[in-house]
Amino acid sequence: MSAVEHNHEEEDHGHHKETFITKYIFSQDHKMISKQYLITGLFMGIIGIAMSLMFRLQLAWPEKSFGIFESLLGKWAPDGVMDPNVYLALVTIHGTIMVFFVLTAGLSGTFSNLLIPLQIGARDMASGLLNMISFWLFFLSSVIMIASLFVEAGPAAAGWTIYPPLSALPQAQPGSGMGMTLWLISMAIFVASSLLGSLNYIVTVINLRVKGMTMSRLPLTIWAFFVTAIIGVVSFPVLLSAALLLIMDRSFGTSFFLSDIFIQGEVLHYQGGSPVLYEHLFWFLGHPEVYIVLLPALGITSEIIATNSRKPIFGYRAMVVSIIAIAFLSTIVWGHHMFISGMNPFLGSVFTFTTLLIAIPSAVKAFNYITTLWKGNLQLNPAMLFSIGLVSTFISGGLTGIILGDSTLDINVHDTYFVVAHFHLVMGISALYGLFAGVYHWFPKMFGRMMNKNMGYVHFWVTAVCAYGVFFPMHFIGMAGLPRRYYTNTAFPYFDDIADINVVITIFALIAGAAQLVFLYNFIHSIFYGKKAEQNPWRSNTMEWTAPVEHMHGNWPGAIPEVHRWAYDYSKPGQEEDFVSQIVPLKEGEEELQH
């Protein structure tokens, strides 16, 4: 009865006049907001990747003149030769954009928004208004970050970790003036956006599940988004406080992070602060951030691998426990970024221990994915390929974490290209694959059309080969002792023998960049001209596929279907089809799997 009433209300809702502005711009509908996140995220991604290609050109052919630099960088590339400060700025903004704007907001923002209401059977997020505000704050912070590129002295250039004093003192580097101020403002707004979003996700998952959708029947995607939101709420505020303290040091003369400094011929007044404190605060977010980026990608992959293997995800419960364990442990491992920061070596031992602990749930997840494939009937759609690709890069990148997490071994590879290789594989590429997989898989849900699969295949294979082509050789130059964030290696004849490796890497990077154009074309073209999607194209069990293809306010016409089983009844014996939607009641005598 109540469901019917609810429905009635919804219909009334529909009578409200929807203008272009409320439908497409200041929309409170989670499906529209998810598209807004995706498109903003992809736009930022294009900028971030273009930047990486520019500094890769510089690394392969140092101090060579490129017409493209002259036209894009203008006065920062006199005669087409990139300036060292610009190199650092590009690296910094590339890192910031990729980690926060593409893989936090773009990935989690898109799919949490799209899938949380649809997969738990809710009509929308708990608060549509907060959700809308969250997106617009994100948009604002993106605009500020982009605006910072046009500041006279250039954008922030202290690395995405912006360690003070470099980031605190305008005298230390051109990028630490106005550019850094904008960076900090942009990130503060970003944190606010992320907090509003996360709170909304958490409340929605707790309160708005449809009848029958118990926690143990939640699809792993939702578990991942839910736990990610919790990590975000716990750790992002700490970044905010670090940013605020840094702003105070910069503008109001406090000494939280600064002490005993002489720069540009001048002794500064700062006394008693410590940059190491900043490092603690930053990495208290910074490490969980890795999982904020990665867990949603793993959740997406879990769903896609199960669906396309036509098999239940192997070890559902272990997967949930791993997600929770990773979330918990991720807040107590931050010190592995600081083994040689000057902190007490005993702390180093503690953080080595917790870090290697977190490897265990990660390993469990990888093994469970592999076992899910075993004896499956794999439908190798582009989304599935990217998911398998994710497992591959997650393993390759995760394994080198054993070296970096070991305080002893970290001494010699810390801050070298070995680290760059490690984190790009384990979080950058893996999460990017998760994003692509999600887009290919839920495109029909988002836009009512299908993406072209052959272009998807080309996109995947070129990207997969190039991703390893770029990042695998970086392990070698890192082990050779080459530091990261170096404008060029030519200052050390000692590194002359790795110049050719840098050329190889850059060539792979350029091809990888080109492959993304295939994706972009496919994405835009399919929005308008793709084949019209069926309701459940991948023959999937989760609830979003029971909603009509045409988007409607409130997601389902009439009552929301009740849930009767978990999301993974694929190829269940005794069932005719190889999938059974969550909304199908148990047959007589059928047992629900105890999981």
Partner 1 sequence: MTAILTLMVLVLIAISLWQVAKIFEMSQTSKNNSQVANDSDNDTQGKLMFAFLAFLYILTLYSFWAWGDVLLPAAASEHGGEYDSLMWISFALIFFVQTITQALLHYFSFKYRGEPGKRAMFYADNNRLEAYWTIIPAITLAGLILSGLYTWNDIMTVEENEEALVVELYAQQFNWKARYSGQDGVLGDANVRFLQDFDGKNVIGIDATDPNGLDDVVTQELHLPVGREVIFKMRSQDVLHSAYMPHFRAQMNCVPGMITEFAFTPITTTDDMRLDPDVVAKVKKINKIRAENSKQLVADGDEALEPYIFDYILLCNKICGTSHYNMQMKIIVETPEAYEAWMIQQQTFAQVIQ
Q: Which does 287 bind (CB under 5 to 8 A by kind): ligand HEM, partner 1, Cu ion, none?
A: Cu ion
490-509 residues in contact with Cu ion (CB under 5 A) are none
Quote the CA–CA distance of 195 and 229 in Å, as a whole number.
Answer: 8
H/E run at residue 365: helix 345-373
Q: φ, ψ for residue 579 (rounded to 5)?
A: -150, 150
- Which residues lie below 8 Å from residue 74, measured CB to CB, with a gap of 6+? none
- The pairs formed by 350-359 with CB atoms below 8 angstroms and a separation of 24 or more are 351/407, 352/405, 352/406, 352/407, 354/329, 355/401, 355/405, 356/402, 356/405, 356/406, 357/329, 358/325, 358/326, 358/329, 358/330, 358/333, 359/398, 359/401, 359/402, 359/405
Nearest Cα residue to 516 out of 564, 474, 466 = 466
Measured at CB, which residue is nearest to ligand HEM? 95
**Is the Cβ of residue 228 or residue 542 nearer to ligand HEM in the bound state?**
228
Contact call for residue 287 and Cu ion (CB under 5 A) = yes
Query: In 220-344, which ranges are continuous DSSP H helix?
Result: 220-251, 275-309, 316-330
Draw the binding track, 424-443, toward ligand HEM (x: CB under 6 A; -: no contact).
x--xx---x-----------
Residues in the chain: 595
Quote the CA–CA distance of 345 and 246 in Å, as a whole number.
Answer: 26
Q: Which of 41, 62, 95, 175 binds ligand HEM (CB under 6 A)?
A: 95
Contact call for residue 164 and ligand HEM (CB under 6 A) = no
Nearest Cα residue to 145 out of 175, 119, 170, 180 = 180
- Which residues lie below 8 Å from residue 270, measured CB to CB, with a gap of 6+? 249, 255, 258, 259, 260, 261
CB of 330 to Cu ion, least distance (A): 8
CB atoms within 10 A of CB 531: 12
Q: Which does 512 bind (CB under 5 to 8 A by kind): partner 1, Cu ion, ligand HEM, none?
A: ligand HEM
Tell me the longest C-alpha to C-alpha distance in the chain: 85
**Local structure of 73: helix, strand or coil:** helix
410-469 residues in contact with partner 1 (CB under 8 A) are 411-412, 414-416, 450-453, 457, 461, 464-465, 468-469
Contact call for residue 312 and partner 1 (CB under 8 A) = yes
Instruction: Identify the bridge partners of residue 267 per DSSP, sorted by sequence position.
Output: 262
**Is the Cβ of residue 297 or residue 327 nearer to ligand HEM in the bound state?**
297
CB of 91 to partner 1, least distance (A): 9
Draw the binding track, 513-532, toward ligand HEM (x: CB under 6 A; -: no contact).
x-------------------
226-285 residues in contact with partner 1 (CB under 8 A) are 258-263, 267, 272-276
Q: Which does 496 bind (CB under 5 to 8 A by kind): Cu ion, partner 1, ligand HEM, none?
A: partner 1
**Is the Cβ of residue 287 or residue 311 nearer to Cu ion in the bound state?**
287
Q: Which of 107, 229, 245, 420 binds ligand HEM (CB under 6 A)?
A: 420
48-77 residues in contact with ligand HEM (CB under 6 A) are 49, 52, 56
Instruction: Identify the bridge partners of residue 416 per DSSP, sorted by sequence position.
Output: 483
Q: Which of 114, 512, 560, 583 binds ligand HEM (CB under 6 A)?
A: 512
Look up tokens 């917790």; give the residue.
354
CB of 161 to ligand HEM, least distance (A): 6
- The stretch among 122-130, 299-307, 480-488, 529-537 that binds ligand HEM (CB under 6 A) is 480-488
Quote the CA–CA distance of 140 and 136 in Å, as a whole number.
Answer: 6
CB of 184 to partner 1, least distance (A): 17
Task: Determine contact, residues 569/579, Cβ cutoff 8 Å.
Answer: yes
Q: Which does 538 bind (CB under 5 to 8 A by kind): ligand HEM, Cu ion, partner 1, none?
A: partner 1
Q: Which of 38, 54, 60, 98 binds ligand HEM (CB under 6 A)?
A: 98
165-184 residues in contact with partner 1 (CB under 8 A) are 165-166, 169, 172-174
Q: Which of 4, 377, 557, 586 binds partner 1 (CB under 8 A)?
A: 377
Q: List contacts with Cu ion (CB under 5 A).
A: 287
Q: List contacts with ligand HEM (CB under 6 A).
A: 49, 52, 56, 91-92, 94-95, 98-99, 103, 159-160, 420, 424, 427-428, 432, 470, 484-486, 509, 512-513
